[in-house]
Structure formats: structure tokens, C-alpha cells
Amino acid sequence: MKNKYLNFFTALLLAGLFAFSFTGCSEEEEFTDAIAYYQNEESGIGKITLAFYDDGTFELHKKFERPEKTNDKTITEDYSIATGTYTGNVASDSTITCTYKKSTSDSIAKLNNARLFGFFEKTETYGNDKFPLNTLSEPITQTYTISNGVITYEPINGIPLNNMNVKNWKLELTRK
């Protein structure tokens, strides 16, 4: 009898490990192809990542999971907020220049309407299909100083990363 439970438990454990090997991706694994990336500590706006790639491009990315109280659903926002090109050494303390070329628009109304379609589902993930990247009418250039492995991100007009109703906010993104 004891062997039967041990075999069942072992099979269950192996099945769980097998399933985790396909789904257990952390934020760090999402940016393995970046030469450097910087993230905030988890906050009320989610995990914000500024990732730099060896082809001279960057991505400002958001991942935020939040429960919906009204319908017992979990919403995950996992999308690129903005993309563009950069110059400078992003892998060490220095000054870099980012040119934002594409950005999502302010999609709060679209997000609220999208919730109605998946009413009976317990989880929904919103990516760039719900928050599409659009070419900016004018590129936006921003200079950042990387100091002690930290980039201080401040709000940029035209890039929809904001901290609702908070004036003069800054977000510290730490090299990972």
C-alpha cells in the first residue's frame, strides 16, 4: 500500500516538473537575448523592463498581473510599451541616448471594452495585440545616465508609462 502511494506521489511530482519546464519562465528568461536589461522592483504599475539588444535597439516592456475584484479574474498585461534605437554602452555605468520610435497609445478604454469579451474566463493576457505599437509622428530622444547599475526613468510625453495622479515621479530600473 505504501509503495502505491509513493509511486503515485512520484508520478505526480514528475508530471508537475515536466509541466513547469514548459511554463515556468521568469522575467529574467524573457530577456536572455538582451545584452543588458534594467528592471524596477515590483510595484503598483508592474514590472517595467528597459532591455537593450546588440543590434542597437531597445524595448520598454511592462508585465503586470492583477486580480479583478468584480469578476474574480486575473488580468496580465505583458507587452512592449515602446521601442527604438540607442547609442552608448548600456552594459556599464555611462550615459546613453535612446530614441523612441514606436509606442503604444493610451489604451485604457480599449482595455475596459476588451474585458467584456472574456467574461467567463478566469485569466486574460493582454499583449501587443491589445496595445499595438504605432510609429511616433516624431521620434522622442531621451538621455539616461547609468549610475551604480541604475537608470532613473522619468515620465516622457508621448510614452504611456505613467503613475496615475502622482506628480514628478521617477522609477529606478536596476541592471539585472
pTM of the predicted structure, to 2 decimals = 0.75
21 pLDDT band (50/70/90 cuts)?
Answer: very low
Instruction: Report how far residue 48's alpha carbon sits from residue 40's, in angstroms, rounded to the nearest whole number.
Output: 6
Average pLDDT over every residue of 90-104: 97
- Mean pLDDT for all residues in the chain: 79
Q: What is the pLDDT of residue 158?
A: 85
Looking at the predicted structure, is the pLDDT value of residue 23 above 60?
no
Looking at the predicted structure, is the pLDDT value of residue 131 above 50?
yes
C-alpha cell at 139: 521620434
User: Could you give the C-alpha distances from 136 to 50, 63, 65, 77, 156, in angstroms and in order?
Assistant: 18, 22, 27, 22, 13
22 pLDDT band (50/70/90 cuts)?
Answer: very low
> Please, what's the b/e burial string for 95-134 (b: 16 or more CB within 10 A of its CB; e: otherwise)?
ebebebbbbbeebeeeeeeeeeeeeeeeebebeeebbebe
